[in-house]
Structure 1
Amino acid sequence: MTEWLIAQQGALSIALGLMLIAERFTAKMGALFTYKLWTIVPAILLLNNLPTNSILVTRYSISQYTVNTTPTVATQHVNVLFYLWALGAGAIIIITLFHYLSVNSSLKKVSINRDVVYYSLQARSPILFGFINPKIVLPLNFERMFCEAQQQMIIEHESVHKHHMDHLWNGFTFVLITLFWFNPLVWIALKAFRTNQELACDYKVLSNKSDKETLIYAKALVQCAEQSPQTLSLYPTFGEKSTMKKRLMLMKEKFPQSRLAAFAAVALSVLLMANTAAANMPPSPKNHAEGNGHVPNEPKVNEASPIAHVSPTYPEDAAKTNTEGYVVLQFDITETGATDNITVVKSSPEGVFDKSASSALKQWQYKPRVQNGQALRQTGLLVQLDYKLSSDDAD
């Protein structure tokens, strides 16, 4: 898992960096266009994880280990990074779940102008709440704070969030933050993404409104921001303070949209996605065969060494009868470094050490083979375990 998380950081950071730059040109490219451009992030992650073929390991050499009755200390591999990541991811999940249950338990269903909404004591600002079945949630003082025109536009704003499928996008951001919380760019990009999300809704709501209605809407935004907490939420909130300045600026000024800026953003996005896809494609087979049939420079992937292994137990009956022997096992290394598909290729004496060898190999852990940021499965590896009695046992 740790290797996979690290392998994603290059492509993810470049995609997020590109979107942070694009967010600065929202006024020139348009709020809706810039918001749609965020699809590059899941696209890059998808392309960076395209399935690739397994590596068939050559069988010209066999890793060999000696097993005896003298106790040996097994190598213990503790992945500290994984536990640190799991601690952070678990904290995010627990905090989000606690907030969800707290808000959900306080919901009271009402109807305003034929719109089904919910009131909640936990809501400081109107929000679209939930990732699966989203609900428009309003603060208890909603009708006292805003005039009827403001109420209608605020509810329209939250309805646009729902129409844009923002609840699904927010679910994706939750997964992204949970997986990659250790990357500071993810948190910076979340703020930029939330800004674009609100700007896109503002643009949609105000597209057919008069200047007077726009002013009323802006006043509602400021009123709401005074009641909203400063913390960044996973749910889109109408009066989010961190997005306030840019939202008011775009309402006040009518910036001409630049086709050149939009074209440059699309071109860079396509180039990045094409490069990511090409980097993860399996290399085309090349004919290296020479006249004598020798394949030069063949990678010795069969020399993979375990990073954690359990020493096999010497069978008691074999030790009593001074029996020595060996077992040749064939196995695969999975994308996570675990062993799989273990089979006995050859053993001597037949059947004496097979169970002991197979049981031990199941617990071995290898470093996963990573190619172009993608963990690959290795198949057809061979290992020989030689069962030899120590001199003290043989006497």
Structure 2
Amino acid sequence: MTELLQGLVQASAWLAVAVLLLAALQPLLRRLGGVALVYRSWWLVPLVLLAPLLPVPTLPLSDSAPVQALGAALRAPVLPSSAMLWPVLLAALWGAGAILVAGAQWRGQQRFERGLGALQPRSDGSWQASADPGLPALVGLWEPRVVVGPDFDARFSAAERDLILQHEHQHRCHGDHWANAALALLRCVFWFHPLLPWAARRFLCDQELACDARTVDPHPALRRLYANALLKAQWVHPVAPMACHWRSQPMLKERIAMLKEHKRKALPWMLGQVLVAGLCAGLGMVAWASQGDTGVSASLPADADAQARHIAPPQYPKSAYDQRISGKVVLRVNVDASGRPDDIKVISATPAGVFDEVSVAAARQWTFDPARKDGKPVATALQIPMTFELEASEPAP
């Protein structure tokens, strides 16, 4: 449970960094490359969330002396069972919130799709619904379809219909429906994050602006006609989480203002692409390197292994003590060049989940004499077995 919570905290911190950075850079990116470049910059978010999951070079692993916690003789203090419950409660709260958000989004999507009624194919490649819960829109994930309302032909002229269909086909060609599905997943995982609601609204707004730009840039003379089509379609409708809607009344003013912008020159556009690529690569590399020491010395064997300076035994869990449970945990403890443990992982635990928490908590308090390479302190890793016994005995060799 602790590893899950630590992963969520780390990912939440990187999500906040990415969102704040994008918010600060949006005006500059828009001047350099327009709304399409701003929308492309949102690739930064999944990159910084996935980068810490990539493997890093491992530190050289050395064996250490075993540690023993004695329950029956009470030589190690007994940890109250309530102190072990908070990670489980927090994980349960997060899981319940994720399920609730997922259920709400699923109901919204199902309500929208049921509201379409019967669908009939059209000669232009789109589908016509018998009802209008918020159309036109690109609907579906695996086989997305452009769906228009029953009054599509009556409300829009032929030229306007062509522009609207081009807009929705742009959504499909650029995979915007998959991007919306990824956003729905983020809303489930990070439902507690205070910056995510703003980021989701801004992302969907940038998505529509970029799609508008891709549609009208090849036909600059049709900008006024495109704006008229936007004005005709703006009615308040609930939107589906994974549908790309033509209607977007809250951002209508911004969409029409974007149509007045001129196409960017080649040099600033290229600078914008380089800036976004460098931003994504740089912050992704920082997020990846944040997992631990990835220096060259990490892959080299040390001349002298790290030695324990102070290792206090872990507290014996009260629930395990009351139930007369014994066990063993093997830890991997990364020791930095100053002798502090900076990353602790459970390699194995018997029985699983009983002694993991107290073992990691104890290891965070330990101190070491760092390993040495060519006379200089370097980072390394120790494999430390910990035995939890109910009767005093000598540690296993």
Q: TM-score range by the shorter chain?
A: 0.7 to 0.9
- Quick check: which has more Rg, 1 or 2? 1
Amino acid at match of 1:214: R
Distance 1:328 1:269, change over 3 A: closer
Matches of 1:192 and 1:283, distance apart in 2: 38
Aligned ranges 1:317-332 → 2 under 5 Å:
329-331=328-330
Identity in percent: 18
Residue 185 (str. 1) matches residue 189 (str. 2): no
Match among 184, 192, 199 for residue 174 of structure 1: 184
Q: Is the 8 A contact 1:65 1:386 kept in 2?
A: yes
Q: Secondary structure at the match of 1:183?
A: coil
Q: Which residue of 2 aligns with 1:34?
A: 38
Q: Which residue of 1 aligns with 2:229?
A: 220
Q: Secondary structure at the match of 1:125?
A: coil
Matches of 2:94 and 2:60, distance apart in 1: 29
Deviation at 1:160, TM superposition (A): 0.8
Residue 247 (str. 1) matches residue 255 (str. 2): yes
The two structures, once aligned, show a CA RMSD in angstroms of 3.9
Matches of 1:328 and 1:221, distance apart in 2: 67
Deviation at 1:93, TM superposition (A): 0.8
Q: Is the 8 A contact 1:120 1:137 kept in 2?
A: no
Distance 1:382 1:245, change over 3 A: same
Residue 123 (str. 1) matches residue 133 (str. 2): yes
Deviation at 1:221, TM superposition (A): 0.8
Residue 273 (str. 1) matches residue 269 (str. 2): no
Q: Secondary structure at the match of 2:70?
A: strand
Matches of 2:302 and 2:121, distance apart in 1: 76
Distance 1:186 1:340, change over 3 A: same
Deviation at 1:188, TM superposition (A): 1.3
Matches of 2:181 and 2:382, distance apart in 1: 34
Matches of 2:322 and 2:347, distance apart in 1: 17
Residue 15 (str. 1) matches residue 18 (str. 2): yes
Q: Is the 8 A contact 2:330 2:346 kept in 1?
A: yes
TM-score normalised to structure 2 length: 0.73
Distance 1:35 1:304, change over 3 A: farther
Deviation at 1:6, TM superposition (A): 0.4
Q: Which residue of 2 aligns with 1:51?
A: 55
Deviation at 1:28, TM superposition (A): 3.5
Q: Which residue of 2 aligns with 1:81?
A: 90
The runs of 5 or more residues in structure 2 that have no matched partner are: 334-343, 365-380, 393-397
Distance 1:122 1:365, change over 3 A: farther
Deviation at 1:106, TM superposition (A): 4.2
TM-score normalised to structure 1 length: 0.73
Distance 1:8 1:210, change over 3 A: closer
Q: Is the 8 A contact 1:308 1:366 kept in 2?
A: no
Distance 1:81 1:205, change over 3 A: same
Residue by residue over 1:112-142, the C-alpha shift from the partner in whole angstroms, topping out at 9 and shown as x without a partner, is 3331324163522322223332222223333
Q: Secondary structure at the match of 2:192?
A: coil
Distance 1:314 1:214, change over 3 A: closer
Deviation at 1:231, TM superposition (A): 6.9
Distance 1:269 1:153, change over 3 A: same
Q: Which residue of 1 aligns with 2:371?
A: none
Matches of 1:238 and 1:299, distance apart in 2: 65
